[in-house]
Structure formats: structure tokens, C-alpha cells
Structure 1
Amino acid sequence: MNGQIADQINEQGHLTIGGVDSLTLAQEYGTPLVVYDVGQIRKQIRSFKQVFEKYHQPYEVSYASKAFATVAMYQLIASEGIHCDVVSGGELVTALKAGFPMAKVSFHGNNKSYEELTLAVKSGVGTIIVDNFYEIQLLDQVLKEQAAQAQILLRISPGISAHTNEYIQTGQVDSKFGFDLASGQADQALKQCLANPRLQVLGLHAHIGSQIFDVRGFEGASRKLVEVAKHWKDAFAFDCQVLNVGGGFGIKYTSQDTPLAPAEFVKAIIKTVKSSCQANGLAIPEIWIEPGRSIVGPAGYNLYTVGSRKDLPGYEPFVAVDGGMGDNIRPALYRAEYEVVLANDPRKAASESVRIVGKYCESGDILAWHQQLPHLVPGQVLAMLDTGAYGYSMASNYNRNPRPAVVFVENGHAQLVVKRESWEDLTSLDLPYDQNKQ
């Protein structure tokens, strides 16, 4: 049995989530179903805050909402008093609908549109994280039109590659994100922004990747940011008020994963920034972090109902469920690994090794490989663990399948926060083709 859920089994032997029986959730809301343990989300947010406060370090914990963005999620993080970042007009509109305080929003993105920047400025977004020279020009145009000013951070590529999947590395020199240091792009960007009275440069931002287990990458990025801050002070008399070191703190998906507790990454960042600033004669700035996966990943569960299976001599059986790559594309995209348990009896001894596959018409629609489980039959409910990040947020309507419902569970109470899409929803934006007009 997965050790992570040992204390989540009720008297009936069923898996519970946030104090609610997972079978009850599946019965009431249907499957496939995405479930979040709200208490676990709150606990992780508070653990980040406690580290900063222990070291008396000014900070912002900025939830990277691309990991999971819904009205209810923005309301939840607002209740915890933290910042958030958005990466699109759609995420910004969702945060607005949630009533999230715009002053505590930062806006990321390597190709923000005129419409998105206009919405951000009109809405009073607190910080825009500027990624490239085109954006400097576009933002200046918007600010002129709106007779407004903006606080910004400049995103740099620190030249540090974290040990992670090559598709989720973002800090190396050859990245689509940020201003390059070695070529002088970052210096040029700073000069342009400092010369613009509509822009107030708060500081620097860097993000080195995702699902990182080693603190050395963050220590290196922190030192690099301080080095840049020192250079900018000497060369341009610029005083850095904010160092945003991004996120990417790794979580435990399987028994083979051995990440540090997320708070340990923060501790290493704080110590490195403080020592580097002291060595360079700099005042210690605010430190911002952008955790996403580490806040919602371990709090999320996907519930599925078993359907067909295919047994072949000499091969692991295929056991199909009623979801798949449409609600969690990460296994197909990255070959990401998860663990799966039998919801009605997680402690039952395994009798076979199977592949859990989805219902989508792709051979790559495999949710989990080599799962040690009891013999599975149609109608049983499976729970996939740690699915809270980049599952629902990447969900699609491939094969014209509706996206699942989302439920928040806290203190033994469940609440529907995203309705299940219907078949009617799938055609709600379709228009008929009038061939007589051609």
C-alpha cells in the first residue's frame, strides 16, 4: 500500500480525501472526477510562509496558477493572503471573477498580447513580469493609451539548467523565456525600462525549471540574481527591491521520488540570498517565490471507474478507465509517472501488474505503467494520487469527450467547484456551415 495514504483509510477500509469517503465522492459526483484536499493546500501555503517569517525575511508567496486555475482556487489562495501569478488573459479573467485582489497579481508570459496587457493595466495588476523587447514596446503603448504606470520585474535567463525534463527546463541560455545575460540583452532591457517614466522596475525574476529535487540549482540561481543586482547597482545606480526566484520545487509522485520538503528549498534560497547580498554590500531585497505544483500537486486525486480490460499472455494487462489523456495528459506528454490505488481497499494485496489506460483513441493514452494492484474488474473505482498540478489545467476535449467535474473537500465536507461538462457543452460554440453561401 502507498505509504502516503496510510492515514486516509476509514473504518470501511476505503480511501478518504479530506475526511470524505472516495467511493461516496465517486457515487455523488460521477467519474472521472478531480478531487482536492483543501486542508492540504492550506497546510503547504502556510509552511512556505512560516519559513520566511522564521528568518524575518520580507517575501511574497506567489501561487503559480497555471498549475490549476479556477474561480474557487483563486478564492482559496486569497483567503490565505498570498500573491498569485497568471500567464494569460484567461487566467486573469478567472482571477477577476473570483474577486482576487489585483494588486497581488503578477502577469507572466513570453508573448503577451495587446489585449492581455490592456486588460492587465485596466484591472490594476500589481506587477508585470516583462519577458522581451517586443513586450517593452507593447506595454509602453498600452500605458500611454491608458495614461497609466506599471510596476515590473525583468525576467532573465540565468544560464542554469536544473535536473529535470528537458521540456520543463526554462533557465538555460537557449530558452524562449527572458532576457539573456551574456549577450547584454538584460542590461539593454534595464536601460530602456529605467528611461521610461511609465515603468517602475522593482527587480529581477528567474525560473530555472520544474519538478526539481536538488537545492543547488536554486542556490546557483539566487547567487546569479544577486550578482546581476550588484552589477546593475554599480553600472546603472539601480537598487533592486525584489528578487523573484521562481518555483519548480519537486514533489513525490512515486516511491522512487525523493524530493526535499518544499520548505527546505525556501530555506536554502533565503540563506543564499542573504549571504550573497552581504558579500556584495547590498541591502537584502524582498524574496518572491512562485510555487504551483508543490501547493496543489499532492492535494489532488483523480477518481476513475474501471471498464474493459485486455489480457495477453506474456504481457501486462491493459485495464481501461473512463478518463485518460483528456484529463491528465502528463503521462503521454512527459511519460510522467503516478501511483494508483483501489479506492475501496487500498490495503488489499496486489495480485498483478497492470497498465492503466484511458478511453481515448491513441496508443499513447496510458495513465500509469507497472501498477501493482489486486485483480481489477469493471465497476471498481481507482484513485490516482498527486494529480493536482497540470492535470485539469491541461485538460482537453479530445475525441469530443467532456472535461470532468472538480470537487473541493475540507473538514469532511465536499463542494462542487467546477461542473462536469455535458455533451451539449461540447457543441455550444459550434456554428452550422451554410454551403449555399460558398
Structure 2
Amino acid sequence: MNRKQNIIKTAINEHVIDHNLTAIGVMDLDGLKKTVNDAYAAFPANFFHTFAVKANALVKVLEPLREYGMGAEVASPGELLIAVTAGFTAENIIFDSPAKTLQDLRTCIKKGIALNIDNLQELERIDALMLEFPESTSIIGFRVNPQIGGGKIGSTSTATATSKFGYALVDGDNRNELISIYKKRPWLKSIHTHSGSQGCELSLMAKGIKIITELAEEINSLVGLQQITRLDIGGGLPVNFSSEIIKPSFKDYADILKAEVPLLFTDKYQVKTEFGRAIVAKNGVIITRVEYTKNSGGRHIATTHAGAQIITRTAFLPKSWPIRVTGYTTKGEERTAQTSEVVTTDVAGPCCFAGDLICSNQPLPKLESNDYVMVHDTGGYYFTNHFDYNSLPRVAIYTVAGHDDDLTIECIRQGESLEDVLNKM
């Protein structure tokens, strides 16, 4: 019996999932620890790996990641709050939101949280704050868009010519302007790029990292000392969703980086990564019960309780985010071609729109009512995402009633600033 089958049998036998609780997410913490260890084993000691909290914003997952030696990369005030709740300290957090408010920036600089500047208007705010907090221990850098192009999934490509993220390095005289910015500000000690994600080739990612490494070397040379001491090479490692095989591996990535940017593998710079999906995806699964089955137009349809509400990316972009499913009997035994008839199947979710499908037109061993379906590789960006107001401290919720000329607006949930929330902890 493999580990996943053991997990589903245990969930069924201990009534973790049943007729009442019909969809669960499961994280394998032993697998998570091995993945983190694999990441550290692939790189030398000057690399420090942070976890992109957006990939799995669950405190009970972040806590062991912290214990396993990872830092936290956050991209919103809500993620920062969750990271602090999970026990990450200021020196091990980096804040990357492209929409930081003045209060966000003040909180980070006051508390010594590292951050990456997205644009020149944000730089103006930080200039003023550095006068207010001249002893700040925040490691501050610019997010640079090397404009090297996108990967196979346009919506997750962050280094295109028109990307919304970072400082466009190739436009006009921007490169020289950025060098001048660093020369005038000795507190700019880091430089950051996020050149890859799912659908991006490792060679493309390495190209972007090589560009900012060369830029850091040029800035340090012109300044006459090593002002930039940290290279933040954000960007996730792509994940293989088509099988259990882990490819590319962290070692594959390290080998390409060592060949293309060997300076990273010396002690000259601290190098920070921001892995997310590659850390958690294969260590999590969704298990859901099949409520009903039927045939329609020659297609076998299995309706489950896991769909667009927790498998959002696949439901809305199935070609970009296809995922594997495996059927199990009520006793947790895997349905295979040897034990069940293989039929063309749609595995559907519970939401009331036609595209709410986990997979479509797939040959699968025939599922029956009350069976279970395991949805593989869903430890990141699936059941772990919380796109709701509880993760956003600035959001307030109001009700409104009355005629247009006499409206009554009542607050039912008060928004809070990030600093207010952190000061309560």
C-alpha cells in the first residue's frame, strides 16, 4: 500500500471524511520536511530559502515550515499577519506587495521587515520614511523586471515587457536611472527579480537572475564597495502535475544556476529564494466523496463536493492547470483498470455552472456513488487559499438599507490597519 492510499484509508476508517464532511484537504508534513531538506541540500550555505505564503496561507502548515528552516515571503498585509501568527520573526520575513500603503511601509521599516520596492512613487515614500527611521534594520531592495518574456501561462508570467510588477529595466534610460538611485542611497542593500513561475523554463529563470546579478556587480563597482549584499531571486520552481515524478528538482535548478550564474555559488552574496508551489504542491491532496453518478451524452459524470470553490484555477483555466484524479472505493481501495471498467468521465464539482469540473473527458476506472476521489498535487493554491476578508485586515464590511435619499450604512466588520493588528500580538 502506498502512502497516499494509506492516507485515504485512514481518513475513511477514522471518519475524517464521511457523509457529512464531504471534502477535505490533507497536508503530509513528513513529505513537507523532506522537500525543504531537498531544497537546502541542493544549494550552498549562502542560500536562504523563504516560502511564498500565498501558496499555502495556513498557520498550521507555516509553523512546521518555519521549524524546518524556511523564512516567509509575503505579498499582502493579510499574508504578513498570518506569517507573524505562525511565528516568523521580522528578520526572516520579506514583504513584496506591489500595492503597499504608506502605513504598510512604515510598519515594515519600523519593525525591521525586509521589503522590495516596486516603483519610483514607492521609492519617494521610503525616502521620507528612512529619514524618520534612520536606524531601521530593514533590508531594502528594488524589484527589477528584466523584461525577458513570459512562459507558457501568460497570467502567471511576471517578466514580460508590460508586466505589472517591478521596475522595467529595459525601457528608455531606466537602467542608468536605477544605478543612480542605488548610488545615492547606501541603504539600498538588496536587488530582487521574479523571473519565473509555473510554465517557465529554467533557462528563462536563470536568464533573469543573471541580469540582476550583473547589475548588482555593476552598481557595487561604481559605488566602490559592496553596497548590495543580498540577491533576492524570487520566482517559483515549476511543478510536474502530470505524474508523481518531481521534475524539475531543486538540484536541476541549482545545476542550471551554477552553470549560468556561478557567482551565486560563492560567498559574495546572500541569496534568497521564494519557493512556494514547489514546496507544498506535491505534499497536499484533496479528498472528496462522490455524491451521485449518471450518464449524459455518452459521458459518465461523477458529481463530487470539490470544485471551483477549492479547485479554482483548474475550474476556470483547465488547459493551463490540469490535475490528476484517482478514484477509491468506500473502503479506500484504489480503483484501477484491473478492478473497474474504464469509461470516459467528467469529475464535477458542486457549483452551479457548467465549467465546474475537476477533469473532463478523461478515461477513468468507473466511479460509483459514495466512492472517493483524490485530487493530487493540491497542497498549494487550491484548498489552502483564502480569498476572503478574514485574511485582509484592512477590509471592512458594511450593510446598506433605505431609500436613495436616506440611506443607512452599518459596519458589521471593522477594518484594521496592519500595525494595529500586529501590535495586538
TM-score by length of 2: 0.82
Counterpart residue number, 2:326:
341
Shift of 1:396: 5.1
Residue identity opposite 1:308 in structure 2: Y
What corresponds to 1:270 in structure 2?
A: 258
Residue 395 (structure 1) shift: 4.7
Matched, 1:195 2:157: no
Is the 2:327–2:334 Cα contact (8 Å) retained in structure 1? yes
Residue in structure 1 matched with residue 85 of structure 2 by the alignment: 97
Per-residue CA deviation, residues 77-122 of structure 1 (Å, 9 max, x unaligned), is 2101221100011011111222211110011021211232233234
Cα deviation, residue 300, structure 1: 0.9
Question: Per-residue deviation at 1:361?
Answer: 1.9
| CA distance, structure 2, for counterparts of residue 246 and residue 224 of structure 1 | 13
> Where do 5+ consecutive residues of structure 2 fail to align?
408-425
Asked if 1:124 is matched to 2:112, the reply is: yes
The match for 2:25 among 34, 50, 69 is 34
Give 1:189 shift. 3.6
Q: Secondary structure at the match of 1:297?
A: helix
Separation (CA, whole Å) in 2 of partners of 1:28 and 1:97: 33
Distance of aligned partners of 1:18 and 1:359 in 2 relative to their CA distance in 1, 3 Å threshold: closer
Structure 1 residue identity aligned to 2:180: K
Q: CA deviation at 1:326?
A: 0.9
1:52 aligns with 2:43: yes
Change (3 A) 1:186 1:105: farther
Structure 2: how far apart are the matches of 1:80 and 1:309?
A: 43
Match of residue 307 from structure 2: 324
Alignment of 1:298-313 (within 5 A): 298-313=282-297
| Structure 1 residue ranges without an equivalent (≥5) | 1-5, 10-14, 398-402, 404-417, 419-427
1:252 and 2:244 aligned: no
User: Aligned ranges for residues 169-188 of structure 1 at < 5 Å?
Assistant: 169-183=157-171, 184-188=173-177
Pair 1:153 & 2:138 matched = no
Pick aligned residue for 1:286 from 254, 257, 270: 270
What is the rounded CA distance, in whole Å, between the counterparts of 1:299 and 1:133 in structure 2? 39
Partner SS for 1:206: strand
Q: Deviations over 1:117-171 (max 9, x none)?
A: 233234331x111111111122334444456533212111112235330111111
- Residue 17 (structure 2) pairs with residue 17 (structure 1): no
Distance 2:279 2:42 in 1: 15
Query: 3-state DSSP class of the match of 1:26?
Result: coil
Would the alpha carbon gap of residues 22 and 64 (structure 1) be closer, same or farther in structure 2, given more than 3 Å must change? farther
Q: 1:17 to 1:272 in 2, by over 3 A?
A: farther
Q: Assess, with a 3 A threshold, how the Cα gap between structure 1 residues 147 and 254 changes in structure 2: closer, same or farther.
A: same
Which residue in 2 is equivalent to 1:415?
none
Highest RCO, 1 vs 2 (Cα 8 Å, sep ≥ 6)? 1
Mapped partners of 1:189, 1:84: distance in 2: 27
Is the contact made by 2:57 and 2:386 (CA closer than 8 Å) also made in structure 1?
no
Aligned-pair CA distance for 1:196: 3.9
Alpha-carbon distance in 2 for matches of 1:258, 1:147? 46
Alpha-carbon distance in 2 for matches of 1:287, 1:84? 14
Q: Deviations over 1:299-339 (max 9, x none)?
A: 1111111123342234x333221121111211133321111
Partner AA of 2:41 in structure 1: Q
Maintained 8 Å contact 2:71/2:88: no
Structure-2 change in CA distance of 1:18 and 1:82 (3 Å): farther
The residue correspondences of 1:325-404 to structure 2 (distance < 5 A) are 325-335=308-318, 336-343=321-328, 344-349=332-337, 350-395=341-386
Does residue 223 in structure 1 map to residue 214 in structure 2? no
CA RMSD of the aligned region, Å?
3.1
Go from structure 1 to structure 2 and tell me whether the alpha carbon gap of 1:109 and 1:189 turns closer, same or farther (over 3 Å shift): farther
Closer, same or farther: CA 395–319 of 1 in aligned 2, 3 Å: farther
1:203–1:187 Cα change, 3 Å: farther
Map of 1:76 onto structure 2? 64
Is the contact between residue 328 and residue 391 of structure 1 (CA under 8 Å) also seen in structure 2?
Answer: yes
Residues 219 and 166 from structure 1, CA distance in 2 versus in 1: closer, same or farther, beyond 3 angstroms?
same
CA 1:123–1:370: 2 relative to 1, 3 Å: farther
Q: Distance in 2 between matches of 1:361 and 1:145?
A: 53
Which residue in the other structure is 1:3 paired with? none
Q: Distance in 1 between matches of 2:289 and 2:127?
A: 52
- Aligned length, in residue pairs: 390
